Each structure stands twice: as structure tokens, then as C-alpha cells.
Amino acid sequence: MTYIGHRRANTDSAPFTRVYCLPADAQTAERIEAALVDELTTVTALASWSELEDMTAVPDVLILDHRVPKVASMRSLLSVRHRWPCIGIVATEVTDEVAATELLGWGVDDAIESRCSADHVAARLGAAARRARTENASLRRRIGDVVYDRDSRRVWCDGVEVLFARREIAVLDCLWRRAGEYVEHETLHDFVWSGFYDKSRTNRVEVYISYVRRKLRRSRDVAIETRRGKGYRLIRRDQATA
């Protein structure tokens, strides 16, 4: 077995921020988008609390309008914080200091009162996005158009998040650590399956490589190359050998 240590793969930093917001009206959504959207930040507006509860994507920053009834509910906010303990949550259009204090106690990271000017609100929201981006810079790494956040085990291909099963993400993680280099079949098996060997399932590595290839098929830049006797490697397509 070859040990794969904790070392940075041959990748670039990908410090972007994905913001989701639940505004009370379309005008508020437009103001949030105008304040935050740039080449490193995307903003997605949600139509209702039900849409928030149903979403599968994990936001980096969640902006909640206090005028939406559920936002003033301790139970609702605690459920959001329990679901996403590490994201940044900002409440806007908060009625007064008493309400802001309550919201902070219920798990939001910032509570912006409605009396604040538009410029002040934009500055506070921008600060929240920058904090998230700073944290993401050390965790999210890029190979071409594929971004992998090893801490949260999240993957994006060509800007779209792709969901990986537990074993699939372990295969990707092993290849990512040695990006550009061949990883032997046995090494990959030991890394993903903790050294347990089952003669009746010796093709499990090939099966899961095929699963990961399918998950990465949206990528225009990245491929998994197989070479008999050497193993597998994660590469940019322009590095593939004949």
C-alpha cells in the first residue's frame, strides 16, 4: 500500500462565494444582487420559505428578509442553523434593536436594521460575502472548470454543483491529492475501502472510477486517465496521453 499524505495537489485556489437570499419583494432581491454580484459572487433569490426548506444546494451566505414571517420565528431560524451550522446567515430589514438582539440569539451572524441606509446595508452584506470568500480560498481548489471543497466535500463542474455519494467523493479525493500523477489500483482501493480486500469484488475500483467519470462529464477541462500497469490520474484534458 502506498500512503497518500496531506499535501496540496497541483491545483489553483477557487475563492468564490454563493449567496442565497429570501427577500420580501423583487425590488429587495434586485438591490441585494446589485450590491454583491461580481466575478467571485453569485446571488440566487428564493421565492418562499418552502423553497428554502426544499433546496439541496448549500449556500455560503444566506440573507433573510425579516419581513418574511418565518424569519421572525425562533424555531425556523434554529432549524436553518442546525441544518447549515457553518454558513453565514444575515437578517436584513430588522425592525428594531430588540428584534436584532433576538435574531442574533437565534443563530444569525448579523442583523441589519431597516433604519440603516442602502449604502450601509450593501457594505455589511459585502463584508459577509468577503468573510465567506476568505474562508473558501483555503478550502476550495480548482483544476480547470472543476472546483472541489475538501472540507465540505462539495464539487462544482463548469459552475454547477454536482452531488457525489460517499465512496465516489473518496475516489475523487484520492485522485485529487495526487492530481496529475498516476495512483495505483491498490493504493486507490486501500484509500477508499480502508485496506479491506474482497476477492469477489476486485472490480470495485473500476466501477467507482466509472461513477466518478459520469459525475465529471459536465466538465470540459478535466478527465480521469487510465493506464494499464500504472493506475489512474486526474488531469486536464489537454494533458491526456495518446
Domain 141-239 class in CATH? mainly alpha
pLDDT by residue (tens digit) across 72-125?
999 999 999 999 888 999 999 999 999 999 999 999 999 999 999 999 999 999
Q: What confidence score (pLDDT) does residue 15 get?
A: 76
* Helix, strand, coil percentages for the chain (3-state, nearest 5): 40, 25, 35
Close Cβ partners of 13 (under 8 Å, ≥ 6 residues apart): 137, 138, 140, 141, 142
Domain residue limits, the chain: 16-137, 141-239
Q: What is the pTM of this model?
A: 0.66
**Calpha distance 128→36 (Å, rounded):** 10
Q: What confidence score (pLDDT) does residue 151 get?
A: 80
- Residue 227 sits at φ, ψ, to 5 deg, of -135, 125
Q: What confidence score (pLDDT) does residue 112 get?
A: 98
Close Cβ partners of 72 (under 8 Å, ≥ 6 residues apart): 66, 99
Q: What confidence score (pLDDT) does residue 141 get?
A: 86
Q: What confidence score (pLDDT) does residue 224 get?
A: 95
Per-residue pLDDT of the chain (242 residues; tens, 9 = 90+): 333 333 444 677 777 888 999 999 999 999 999 999 988 899 999 999 999 999 988 899 999 999 999 999 999 999 999 998 889 999 999 999 999 999 999 999 999 999 999 999 999 999 999 999 888 777 788 898 999 988 888 899 988 889 999 999 999 999 998 899 999 998 999 888 875 556 555 689 999 999 999 999 999 999 999 999 899 999 988 776 64
Q: What confidence score (pLDDT) does residue 4 get?
A: 36
Q: What confidence score (pLDDT) does residue 139 get?
A: 77
CATH of 16-137, picked from 3.40.50.2300, 3.20.10.10, 3.40.50.300, 3.40.47.10, is 3.40.50.2300
Q: Please tell me if the domain spanning 16-137 has the same topology as the one spanning 141-239.
A: no
Q: What confidence score (pLDDT) does residue 136 get?
A: 79
**Calpha distance 169→146 (Å, rounded):** 13
